[in-house]
Amino acid sequence: MSDIMEIDNDGIEQVSLKVYAEKAYLDYSMYVILDRALPHVGDGLKPVQRRIIYAMSELGLKATAKFKKSARTVGDVIGKFHPHGDSAAYEAMVLMAQDFSYRYPLVDGQGNWGSPDDPKSFAAMRYTESRLTAYADVLLAELGQGTVDWAPNFDGTLDEPRVLPAQVPNVLLNGTTGIAVGMATDVPPHNLREVVSAAIRLLEAPRSTVADLCEHVIAPDFPTEAEIITPREDIVTMYETGRGGLRMRAVWEREGGDVVVCALPYQVSGSRVLEQIAQQMQAKKLPMVADLRDESDHENPTRLVIVPRSNRIDVEALMSHLFASTDLERSYRVNLNMIGIDGRPGVKSLDRILREWLSFRTDTVRRRLEFRLERVLKRLHILEGYLIAFLNIDEVIHIIRTEDKPKPALMQRFGITDIQAEAVLELKLRNLAKLEEISIRGEQDELAEERDQLQKILGSAARLKTLIKNELLAVAKKFGDERRSPLVEREEAKAFSELEMVSADPVTVVMSEKGWIRAAKGHEIDPASLSYKSGDGFKIAVQGRSNQPVVILDSTGRAYTVASHNLPSARGQGEPVTGRINPPSGATFEGMMMGAPTQLYLLASDAGYGFVAKLGDMQTKNRAGKAALSLPKGARVLQPSAIAEVEGAFVAAVSNEGRLLVFPLADLPQLVRGKGNKIIGIPPARVQSRDEFVVAVQVITEKESLLVYAGKRHIRLKFSELEHYRGERGRRGNKLPRGFQKVDAIRIEG
């Protein structure tokens, strides 16, 4: 602070608010980054986690120890090492104890430590007990072997380790999340064997690229059997940049007709998933699901049963919808941000993480070996003193008994060092008398052998690498396990559209003369008998299914698409169709069509022109519709005729003058839009003057009959009787019998 202070004329220390605030903010930011939020590449722990693990080791809570009340443990942590409250420390401890949160838990707990369904449902710390797991040894085993830099704790009364001497790259193994000032960390968990294998690869081939290392580290490995569905290339890119994302998908199987979800993505709650599905069912947006059950127990931690409404339901499509609309599929952010061995935070690629960790590990192992070598040399030095004392035992005892200051006397008489003399004097006389040459020389030989071995390793980089490699393999053998999260490439999940949710019930869509539209359930309805507004009446009706849209044809030849499932009921008088579409001013509605997108229709104008069109080609999302049928001058649109089969079908066209022409349907082209080809020959001038025009066009097969209506009379013509009217497309046709020449309508009967 002194560097930003100024002293005024009165000798008062002053600091500008701007400078003070800026420094305070920066100091706080660095404190959060370095001492709270980010893990260290060395041991993969945040400060609070490190303090908990170290405090528990100091309390003797090893994997073999008895469990101890968590409140006592947390109390010890915050009393000695951690400057924050007990709830924050306990929460950090809980996370390390949850086998569904940590891939390799560091704390072994008794009592309620939360459940996969609700990780925050853990009991208060006075009700739980804890100790360290066996895996925690990889962080603590080398603690007292000169491998650690010590720093004063928050109040300066004790020393705490800056970084624990981890034997494996723990930063990748358990993963971690944290939010610091202006940065975040999201490191996913990994498989121990894979990470160790990659570390060894980098140790043996220092120039290995991320792609090389990804041969070993296939992908993150979460503590769940759910599938990682992110493409392999994206995962490699994520490891190269240190940033990216992952997607996980639940695993399901068929049991009878039911769908059983047996593995959920990382940190996804089963009850939350069921709630999401139930909400869709209540909103009637999931009609294909009949029931939901949670059959999870101790044997099956995850078992969610989804019961389809019938065995005709496409289960694959249903699950694809649920993956897209619920937490059965989830994405995870990856941000490999951590404090490096230089003490600076940064986002690191996979190779850089492993390089830094190997550098840290090499330094740790070297320090451990040097510490041990120092101890061995010191002991050898003392043993030399013991041997001299043993060989001159009587004289040594005499000097100790008679001399006031025996140490200098021993040093002078036998030429031993201060340390050796001190060691001899520390032995009690009776122990000094019990010294044996064999045991001394035996220990000397053992230590000399160990000294030579240590010096060999320390003097050779290759031997040091081999030692690190063997230690990594030993840890992998002891704590390694098979991958839990399989890497499976899947197609992108797609949610159902609103239309796909609709059940396929039979409906009859009715249009009135004034353009009011409604839908009646079933196909048995008589549209003409429905009630209509005063001055209005029945015009056209079409039959189909509720999941099929209605295509309406107006008097200008434009086609409009209207959803049928949300049309008003036929119990009422419907609603103006102009509320759903925007036709040109003065246009009336002349035709309606329903069916599958592949359904064929015969479109025709009363000028005697027409073509075959596919229903899907006429559908549009545009409220203004799309051009379908082009009309010659003075011509009007006819109600389209459905086509079941093109082969063996014939077109029957009849004019107002009673001329009937029958010809093969195959003679007409299939178009997307246009005027079409000539069906029956009518002079254009007579069409314009409305003297002659086509009354109706129908598609007929050889098994059907043609009913011709003229006033109150009708005539039935079997297909064999139509031979007289058969001709080439575009001819005038032959006249119907007398009395039936003023045709009102024609109908097909099977």
User: What is the C-alpha separation between 125 and 103, in angstroms, rounded?
Assistant: 23
76 touches 87 (CB < 8 A): no
Beta-carbon contacts of 632 under 8 Å, excluding residues fewer than 6 positions away, are: 605, 607, 609, 675, 684, 687
710 touches 746 (CB < 8 A): no
Beta-carbon contacts of 107 under 8 Å, excluding residues fewer than 6 positions away, are: 52, 56, 93, 96, 97, 130, 131, 132, 133, 136
Nearest residue to 63 via CA among 119, 12, 109: 109
Buried b (16+ CB within 10 A) or exposed e, 39-60: bbbbbbbbbbbbbbbbbbbbbe
Angle at 596 between CA 592 and CA 599, to 5 degrees: 75
In one letter, which amino acid is 555? S
User: What is the C-alpha separation between 494 and 317, in angstroms, rounded?
Assistant: 8
665 touches 617 (CB < 8 A): no
Q: What element of type H or E holds 559?
A: strand 558-562
User: What is the C-alpha separation between 349 and 86, in angstroms, rounded?
Assistant: 35
The pair of structure tokens assigned to 515 is 């353009």
Beta-carbon contacts of 626 under 8 Å, excluding residues fewer than 6 positions away, are: 558, 559, 618, 620, 673
Which entry of 102, 127, 135, 609 is annotated as an active-site residue?
Answer: 127
Chain centroid to CA 220: 13
CB atoms within 10 A of CB 701: 16
68 touches 59 (CB < 8 A): yes
C-alpha distances in Å from residue 427, one per residue of 243, 326, 391, 412, 414: 62, 74, 16, 19, 17
440 touches 383 (CB < 8 A): yes
The DSSP code sequence of 40-75 is: BTTT---HHHHHHHHHHHHTT--TTSPPEEHHHHHH
User: What is the C-alpha separation between 326 and 720, in angstroms, rounded?
Assistant: 61
User: What is the C-alpha separation between 149 and 341, in angstroms, rounded?
Assistant: 13
The pair of structure tokens assigned to 682 is 């009518």
127 noted as active-site residue: yes
User: What is the C-alpha separation between 160 and 375, in angstroms, rounded?
Assistant: 23
Look at the alpha carbons of 413, 419, 424, 426 in this order and tell me if their dihedral is positive or negative: positive
Half-sphere exposure of 262 (CA within 13 A, CB side): 11
Please report, to the nearest 10 degrees, the dihedral formed by the alpha carbons of residues 725, 727, 731, 733 taken in order.
0
Buried b (16+ CB within 10 A) or exposed e, 634-645: bbbbbbbbbbee
In one letter, which amino acid is 361? R
C-alpha distances in Å from residue 176, one per residue of 61, 310, 517: 24, 44, 60
Provide the strand spans (E) within 595-688: 600-604, 609-614, 626-627, 641-643, 649-655, 659-664, 677-678
C-alpha distances in Å from residue 578, one per residue of 175, 589, 623: 59, 10, 9
The pair of structure tokens assigned to 261 is 């979800």
Q: Tell me the catalytic residues.
A: 127
